[in-house]
A and B are shown apart, each in its own frame.
Chain A
Amino acid sequence: MHVMGLDGQYPLLFAIWLAPLVGAIVIWAFGPMLRTWAGPVGCAAIAVSFLATLASWGDAVRQTAEAGTTIVGAHQGLGAWLAGFNLGLLWDPLSLVWTLIITGIGFLIHFYSMGYMAGDRGYARFFAYMNFFVFAMLTLVLSDNFVGLLIGWGLVGLASFFLIGFWYERPSAVAAATKAFVMNVVGDVGIMFAIFIMIAVVGSVGFGDAFAGVAAHKFSPGLLYLACGLLFVGCAAKSAQVPLHSWLPDAMEGPTPVSALIHAATMVTAGVYLIARCWPMWEASPDARALVGAIGGLTALLGAILGVAQWDIKRILAYSTMSQIGYMIMGVGVLADGAGVLHFFAHAWFKAQLFLTAGIIIHALHNEQDVRRMGGLHKRAPFAFWSMTVATLAICGIPPFAGFFSKDAIVYDTLVLGHPVLYAVGAVTAGITAYYMFRMLFVTFFGTYRGDVDPSSLGLRHPELAGTSAGLVAHTHDDEPAEEHPPAWLMSAPVAVLWVGSIFAGFLIVGGTNSPWYKLLAPVFRPALIFPEGNAPFSEAVSTAIVLLLVLAGIGVAYWRYGNAAALRDAVERLRQESVRMPPVLANLFYFDVAIDALFVRPAKALGFLFGQIFDPLVIDGTVREARVSAVWLGHLFRSFQTGMVRAYALTIVFGATAFIIYYAVVAAR
């Protein structure tokens, strides 16, 4: 592997990488003894990792070299573990960006969890899983080869299984966890086959060797497209791209900090990382760019449309994540890597803020998640209101908040790179995003509180099933003595920190080639990937104006439907009407689950039925049964020879002997 810089000796990477694992093992082993100290221990493990990341910052960005075939930055070998393939850790600006978010935002989420999860019976178990999750994601982004990446990829899926199914008494949580795990394994298999192609073509699993092979034209276009496509299967599964997205909304069954961790810091951005990391492959394959760009755009649009139809506050945010990840995938897929990665960076802040704020509301309302039963919360929870407002402005792309710069850059870059359809999709999606986010904001915080209104008058068909099944969860909080209730600042302080990023993260890219973002990522990407060059029909200012107009239109429609005085006065009746009149296609989430069920689950079950109920009893068991029957039949046949009459035996012998004599006398004598 061509590595510039600190090859072989970089022990600090181990601190970044393994501190969360140590934390997980300690909490797992000593959880019952640690009791409430499990939270601080878990936070400390992530803090160590984060501080080591900050300390290593300089080494990640120090090296500059021709990007592409050469991996720059620090490298730590781990030895040849598998059949002579060298595994190692890689520390370059791209790893740095992800590690900063994983450990930094991850730390804030851990800190918040100390408040949110206080009193839960699985408090220590929760932090062990969370630390393990961070470790798995770090394995993914720190690996310098596809095998290490796949190991991290699989561990992330496993950790998400643990955490989504954290409240394992709830059948829906277990089902969601299983769904997430199975869909992720589909992606793992895709990446595995991509690795097989790498080994067959370049004989190595290292990123550097693979990209050098791409640069040397060792891949035929079709094979490269196949490799990119297989990698993208993994990305689609992990990053919730159509059609493998349906696990993501269901993953809301996990505790809210888990949702924040999955959506902001870890897991779903892994696909963005992989495509950004493998940009030389995408650069060499226009077909792969078209595929990934189209899927990303489709996901952005579908996620936004589905976000319009949700009532569960966490599901609204889940679909917004799906939509925003669609933006990122679209960006890195069409080689707008600088913008795509920036959107990841900015999104991590405001999405964590959205989820953690939603968690504060859910916590305050005793596990109520249905926005129809909220309302008027801006007076009861002013901090949550302002926090949610800032994050909403950020995700909608209102200047000067973070989402404005990153999303605007992605949308305009698609146009520059010659994808006008993706541009239109991106712009329209921005408008829909503004609509559903402000819909949530208005319904949740404005008007009057509706939690004491009869649920059926709000259009909730099964009040006991709306939101979380409060009865099962509540006891984990309510059974505990009152003094266990944590101070409010445990949950509000991390959110306050996130405000900084939600407001200012976008400014990183301001200033063109002098921007900090450009200087940071220039060693990884070529300049054209950070600021694409091409012929756009109109300038970026016009594009920004178009997108902003659509965003304002979305906000306006949301205000007209949910925010104005008349709408707020008749909120109960209006929400009931909307619930009842929800189009079936939206209520059924575009029938993706139905289609997957019909295309894969039912055939698999039918196959199982075929083998279990038909092939096995009739063919396999049938063979055994027939063998028994013929043995019995043969036994009867031979029994009949055993007459028990000595003279009959003697006569048989005589006949036999006679036959022999005749044979030798007549036949053999010739």
Chain B
Amino acid sequence: MPVPLINYIALSALIFMIGATGVVARRNPLVMLMGIELMWNAANLAFIAYARAYLNNAGHIFAFLVITVAAAEAAIGLAVVVALFRRSEIVDVDDVAILKG
């Protein structure tokens, strides 16, 4: 018996909210990056679920694209974190406000 689509979407939404909460609520940049990763993967799950349910390969293709961009994002994000840490040993993103207007 196949799992209904709504279950996948609910799981995807749950994971996305967890990720978003992590980005907004936590101040450790590493944890925020993890939150972002959760949001990527929630989106991927939704893409695959829809693609499977409607028999459309565009969702698969998009999922690969998301994985690629997520990898690049992780690389840049970690590089930024490392650079920040090297500069002033910051572990709290709220202290990084040099672009404040």
Tell me the A residues contacting B by CB distance below 8 Å: 638-647, 650-651, 654
Which of B20, B24, B99 has a CB less than 8 Å from the CB of A644? B99
Which residues of B have CB within 8 Å of A644?
96-101
A638–B101 CB distance below 8 A: yes
| A to B CB contacts below 8 Å, 13 in the list | A642-B100, A643-B97, A643-B101, A644-B98, A644-B101, A645-B93, A645-B100, A646-B32, A646-B96, A647-B25, A650-B20, A650-B32, A651-B24
Would A647 and B94 be within 8 Å (CB), given that A654-B20, A654-B24 are in contact?
yes
Q: How far is the CA of A667 from the CA of B24 in the complex (A)?
A: 27
Q: How far is the CA of A638 from the CA of B101 in the complex (A)?
A: 8
Which of A640, A647, A650 has a CB less than 8 Å from the CB of B101? A640
Interface code B77-101, partner A: CB below 8 Å = 1, 0 otherwise?
0000000000000000110111111
Which residues of A have CB within 8 Å of B52?
none
Q: Does B23 have its Cβ within 8 Å of any Cβ on chain A?
A: yes
Which residues of B have CB within 8 Å of A640?
101
Which of A638, A642, A647 has a CB less than 8 Å from the CB of B24? A647
Closest B residue by C-beta to A652:
B24
Which of B94, B97, B101 has a CB less than 8 Å from the CB of A641? B101
Which residues of A have CB within 8 Å of B97?
643-645
Q: How far is the CA of A274 from the CA of B101 in the complex (A)?
A: 76
Which residues of A have CB within 8 Å of B99?
642, 644
Interface magnitude class on chain B: 10 to 19
Output the residue of A640, A642, A643, A650 with the most chain B CB within 10 A: A650
Which of B42-86 touch A at CB < 8 Å? none
Which residues of A have CB within 8 Å of B93?
645-647
Q: How far is the CA of A645 from the CA of B97 in the complex (A)?
A: 6
Closest A residue by C-beta to B96:
A646
Q: How far is the CA of A640 from the CA of B27 in the complex (A)?
A: 22
Which of B20, B32, B94 has a CB less than 8 Å from the CB of A645? B94
Which residues of A have CB within 8 Å of B24?
647, 650-651, 654
Q: How far is the CA of A643 from the CA of B94 in the complex (A)?
A: 10
Would A642 and B101 be within 8 Å (CB), given that A647-B93, A647-B94 are in contact?
yes
What is the number of contacts between chain A and chain B, taking CB atoms within 8 Å? 38
Q: How far is the CA of A647 from the CA of B95 in the complex (A)?
A: 11
10 nearest CB pairs, A to B: A644-B97, A644-B100, A642-B101, A639-B101, A646-B93, A650-B23, A651-B24, A644-B99, A650-B24, A654-B20
B80 to chain A, nearest CB (A): 10
Which of A639, A641, A647 has a CB less than 8 Å from the CB of B23? A647
Q: How far is the CA of A641 from the CA of B93 in the complex (A)?
A: 17
Q: How far is the CA of A651 from the CA of B24 in the complex (A)?
A: 6
B96–A643 CB distance below 8 A: no
Q: How far is the CA of A642 from the CA of B98 in the complex (A)?
A: 10
Interface code B1-44, partner A: CB below 8 Å = 1, 0 otherwise?
00000000000000000001001110100001000000000000
Which residues of B have CB within 8 Å of A647?
23-25, 27, 32, 93-94
Which residues of B have CB within 8 Å of A642?
99-101
Output the residue of B25, B27, B98, B101 with the most chain A CB within 10 A: B101
Given contacts A642-B101, A646-B94, A647-B32, 16 further A-B contacts (CB under 8 A): A639-B101, A640-B101, A641-B101, A643-B97, A643-B101, A644-B96, A644-B98, A644-B101, A645-B97, A645-B100, A646-B93, A646-B96, A647-B93, A650-B20, A651-B24, A654-B20
Q: How far is the CA of A3 from the CA of B98 in the complex (A)?
A: 91
Which residues of A have CB within 8 Å of B94?
645-647
Q: How far is the CA of A639 from the CA of B93 in the complex (A)?
A: 20
Q: How far is the CA of A654 from the CA of B18 in the complex (A)?
A: 12
B79 to chain A, nearest CB (A): 16
Q: How far is the CA of A642 from the CA of B97 in the complex (A)?
A: 9
Which residues of B have CB within 8 Å of A645?
93-94, 97, 100
Which residues of A have CB within 8 Å of B25?
647
Q: How far is the CA of A646 from the CA of B25 in the complex (A)?
A: 11
Output the residue of B23, B93, B96 with the most chain A CB within 10 A: B23
Q: How far is the CA of A639 from the CA of B99 in the complex (A)?
A: 10
Q: How far is the CA of A643 from the CA of B101 in the complex (A)?
A: 6
B96 to chain A, nearest CB (A): 7
B23–A643 CB distance below 8 A: no
Q: How far is the CA of A642 from the CA of B27 in the complex (A)?
A: 18
Q: How far is the CA of A651 from the CA of B26 in the complex (A)?
A: 12
B26 to chain A, nearest CB (A): 8
Which residues of B have CB within 8 Å of A639?
101
Closest A residue by C-beta to B26:
A647
Closest A residue by C-beta to B20:
A654
Which residues of A have CB within 8 Å of B32?
646-647, 650
B18 to chain A, nearest CB (A): 13
Which residues of A have CB within 8 Å of B98?
644
Q: How far is the CA of A128 from the CA of B24 in the complex (A)?
A: 91
B100 to chain A, nearest CB (A): 3
Q: How far is the CA of A638 from the CA of B100 in the complex (A)?
A: 11
Closest A residue by C-beta to B21:
A654
Q: How far is the CA of A644 from the CA of B96 in the complex (A)?
A: 7
Q: How far is the CA of A647 from the CA of B27 in the complex (A)?
A: 8
Q: How far is the CA of A642 from the CA of B101 in the complex (A)?
A: 5
Q: How far is the CA of A651 from the CA of B32 in the complex (A)?
A: 12
Q: How far is the CA of A654 from the CA of B94 in the complex (A)?
A: 18
A213 to chain B, nearest CB (A): 75
Q: How far is the CA of A28 from the CA of B101 in the complex (A)?
A: 70
Q: How far is the CA of A635 from the CA of B56 in the complex (A)?
A: 48
Closest A residue by C-beta to B17:
A654
Which residues of A have CB within 8 Å of B20?
650, 654
Which residues of B have CB within 8 Å of A650?
20, 23-24, 32
Closest B residue by C-beta to A651:
B24
Q: How far is the CA of A654 from the CA of B93 in the complex (A)?
A: 18
Closest B residue by C-beta to A641:
B101
Q: How far is the CA of A651 from the CA of B101 in the complex (A)?
A: 18
Which residues of B have CB within 8 Å of A651?
24
Q: How far is the CA of A639 from the CA of B100 in the complex (A)?
A: 8
Which residues of B have CB within 8 Å of A643?
97, 100-101
Closest A residue by C-beta to B94:
A645
B16 to chain A, nearest CB (A): 10
Closest A residue by C-beta to B93:
A646
Q: How far is the CA of A645 from the CA of B29 in the complex (A)?
A: 12
A638 to chain B, nearest CB (A): 7
Q: How far is the CA of A639 from the CA of B101 in the complex (A)?
A: 5
B27 to chain A, nearest CB (A): 7
